[in-house]
């Protein structure tokens, strides 16, 4: 795919907000409604105490939380899809309210059996705090670990995902480091026989992958089923057709090549033959030496965002007032295209361009 980087000067730009862990549906959709679009009555139907408790926590009303708990409200009360009361705070963030729920016994280690669209997902408040960290920040995860005594190695009965595996997505490095520092096991093989470093590479997060390789983890796989076998196959696939191996403007480009260098120095041989429709790979002659995951959270915060559209890769600035996890939830946006010009527009909630 041709790759063109366009710098576009905008007065404002658009922020797309993700739905709830694959559950996000428009409130007008005929499909099951996502949690982030639900009213408190929809999330906790038939449970007025849970509804009142969630609303009080969302306001950070400590006295009302205390009163409701004393009157019998359950901080671990279960609602729609099987999620508990503190889930409301991931869609209506309030740190003080979340903290108080934990102090009253909200359990980050309690496994939720989330039933949605005919499927069951086994999760927990701790897993969700990791998953939502790119949007709401890591303070909620920290509170789960420190106040709620969350287990950084928590493994649901289905044995599919530990919290640290969920932290491998690009942009979730702070959550990864928090779990790592809390004692999460990082040198294990998952249910399919893949090591954590394999999953980091599979997610495209080669910065975390290099961090793990430097720790001396076992990067071999014991998986013999159909699908991607090992980390070598992931890198060969990227060398064949992925942009991360070709363009230094792509996030994780430098980390990808340092992973390649690390593994080649230990005897792994890769296939540099590109897909016939792809640009040939040119290995960088000089590799960056910055230690992985060494930047402070504020230094890792992106001042721009980007989106792939057909054969274009558009890069655009993010307004300073929309660059924190807290303000990302207070944004509306839209994309317009007129006469070949694409515009991304950020707007604070409740305002218009005229404001």
Rg of the chain (C-alpha set): 22
- CA distances to 153, 233, 313 from 309, in Å: 39, 27, 6
pLDDT value, residue 22: 35
**Which element (helix H / strand E) includes 158?**
none
Report pLDDT digits (tens) over 246-271.
Answer: 999 888 999 999 999 999 999 999 99
Judge whether 56 and 64 are in contact, CB under 8 Å.
Answer: yes
Token output for 322: 């929309």
In 3D space, the residue among 201, 181, 176 whose CA is nearest the CA of residue 263 turns out to be 201
In angstroms, the CA 116 to CA 119 distance is 5
What pLDDT digit, counting tens, does each position of 105-158 carry? 999 999 988 766 677 789 999 999 999 998 889 999 999 999 999 999 999 999
Neighbours of 283 (CB within 10 A): 11
Nearest to 86 by CA among 102, 65, 73, 103: 102
Report the mean per-residue pLDDT for the chain: 84
- Please write the tens of the pLDDT for every residue from 278-320: 888 999 999 999 999 998 776 666 655 655 555 566 677 777 6
Beta bridge partners of 307: 314
Cβ contact 248:221 at 8 Å: no
The pLDDT of residue 117: 67
Burial class (CB in 10 A: 0-12, 13-18, 19+), 119: exposed
- Check residue 16 and give its pLDDT: 27
Stretch among 129-133, 217-221, 329-333, 347-351 having the lowest mean pLDDT: 329-333
> What's the pTM value of the predicted model, to 2 decimals?
0.78
């Amino acid at each position: 795919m041709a790759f063109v980087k366009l710098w576009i000067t905008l007065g404002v730009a658009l922020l797309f907000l993700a739905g709830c862990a694959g559950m996000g549906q428009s409130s007008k959709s005929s499909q099951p409604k996502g949690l982030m679009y639900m009213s408190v009555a929809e999330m906790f139907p038939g449970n007025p105490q849970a509804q009142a408790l969630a609303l009080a926590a969302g306001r950070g009303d400590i006295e009302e939380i205390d009163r409701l708990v004393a009157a019998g409200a359950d901080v671990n009360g279960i609602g729609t899809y099987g999620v508990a009361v503190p889930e409301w705070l991931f869609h209506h963030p309030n740190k003080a309210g979340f903290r108080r729920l934990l102090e009253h016994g909200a359990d980050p280690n309690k496994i939720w059996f989330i039933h949605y669209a005919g499927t069951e997902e086994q999760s927990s408040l701790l897993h969700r705090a990791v998953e939502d960290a790119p949007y709401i920040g890591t303070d909620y995860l920290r509170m789960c670990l420190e106040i709620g005594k969350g287990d950084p190695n928590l493994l649901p009965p289905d044995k599919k995902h530990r919290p640290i595996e969920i932290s491998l997505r690009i942009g979730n490095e702070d959550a990864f480091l928090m779990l790592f520092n809390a004692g999460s096991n990082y040198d294990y093989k998952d249910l399919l026989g893949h090591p954590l470093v394999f999953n980091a590479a599979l997610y495209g997060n080669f910065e975390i992958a290099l961090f793990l390789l430097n720790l001396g983890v076992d990067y071999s796989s014991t998986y013999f089923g159909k699908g991607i076998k090992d980390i070598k196959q992931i890198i060969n696939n990227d060398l064949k057709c992925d942009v991360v191996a070709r363009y230094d403007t792509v996030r994780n480009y430098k980390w990808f090549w340092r992973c390649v260098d690390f593994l080649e120095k230990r005897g792994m041989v890769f296939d540099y033959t590109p897909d016939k429709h792809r640009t040939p790979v040119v290995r960088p002659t000089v590799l960056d030496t910055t230690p992985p995951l060494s930047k402070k959270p504020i230094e890792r915060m992106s001042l721009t965002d980007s989106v792939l559209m057909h054969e274009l890769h558009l890069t655009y600035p993010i307004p300073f007032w929309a660059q924190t996890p807290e303000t990302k939830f207070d944004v509306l946006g839209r994309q317009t295209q007129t006469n070949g010009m694409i515009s991304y527009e950020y707007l604070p909630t409740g305002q218009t361009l005229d404001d």
